[in-house]
A = this chain, B = another copy of it.
Amino acid sequence: MKSIVILGAGNVAFHLTRALIENTFNVRQIFNRTLENAKEIGEAHRIPYTDKISELEKADLYIIAAADSGIEEFSHYIPFDDTLVVHTSGSSPMAVLKGDYRKGVLYPLQTFSKNRRLRYDEIPFFIEAECKEDELSLVKLADKISNEVHVLPYEKRMQIQMCGVWANNFVNHLYYIAGDICKQNNIPFDVLKPLIEETADKIEDLEPFEAQTGPARRNDHIIINRHLEVLQNDSRLLEIYQVLTKSIKRTYGHD
């Protein structure tokens, strides 16, 4: 890719720009509807930025790094036909891109926060393109950033993105609940951090099926009942506790 323009200035745009710059790609411009956010990324990497569609530079690749709800709008802004336009979403089909250009997808599976340093070479990238030539050039681009690049059609990409909901969104919500219970008992959330870290680290060595411990896995109703008693006045937590306990029990044949 000789030249790249990034559309969007959120967390994905921030990290993707940095990953591209670090791998000596030519990012020519950041476009965003809110100039301030584009400015932040642009100034950090000495890349021109704009909020004017009329100033959009010609490039070989446009990367729309926007939320799902914004991809289609962004996709209308690109007035050039002889170029490749991709979005970075796991859960939107390639067809949300509306234009006469060539289309593709470059989906990085990670949770992006601006102030976090990420190892880009470990982030899996999932690629899709209308034509083989573009697929190959996107794979080449992603290969420079990451060691984990896959070509994957929409249906499977969405499954992978949904796995991210389970392994990130839902997991983080369980951290929140655990933290909330700590807070209610005047216990600092920090005491849970080594456990949280070890739970994640453990699956480097053990399959989650093997790593499972706890009262539901052991079918230990004395402990489960003590927990249900503690939670009896909180119908929201009670419901989650019961549903997950039931699922663990079923997984280990304690039906």
Residues of A within 8 A of B (CB): 67-69, 91, 109-111, 113, 115-116, 118-119, 122-124, 148, 150, 152, 156, 158-160, 162-179, 181-182, 184-185, 187, 189-209, 211-218, 220, 222-223, 226-227, 230-231, 236, 239-241, 243-244, 247-248, 250-251
Contact = CB atoms under 8 A, between A and B. Distances in A.
Given A185-B159, A236-B250, A167 B199 contact: yes
Q: At the interface, is chain A mostly helix, strand, loop or mixed? A: helix
Contact of A236 (B124, B179, B181, B247): B247
A251 B208 CA distance: 28
B213 A111 contact: yes
A212 to B, nearest CB: 5
A181 B209 contact: no
A178 to B, nearest CB: 4
A211 B112 CA distance: 10
Q: Nearest 3 A-B pairs (CB), nearest first?
A: A169-B214, A200-B200, A176-B208
Given A166-B174, A192-B167, A110 B181 contact: no
A173 B208 contact: yes
12 contacts: A68-B222, A91-B215, A111-B202, A122-B194, A156-B185, A164-B214, A167-B174, A167-B192, A170-B240, A173-B212, A173-B248, A179-B209
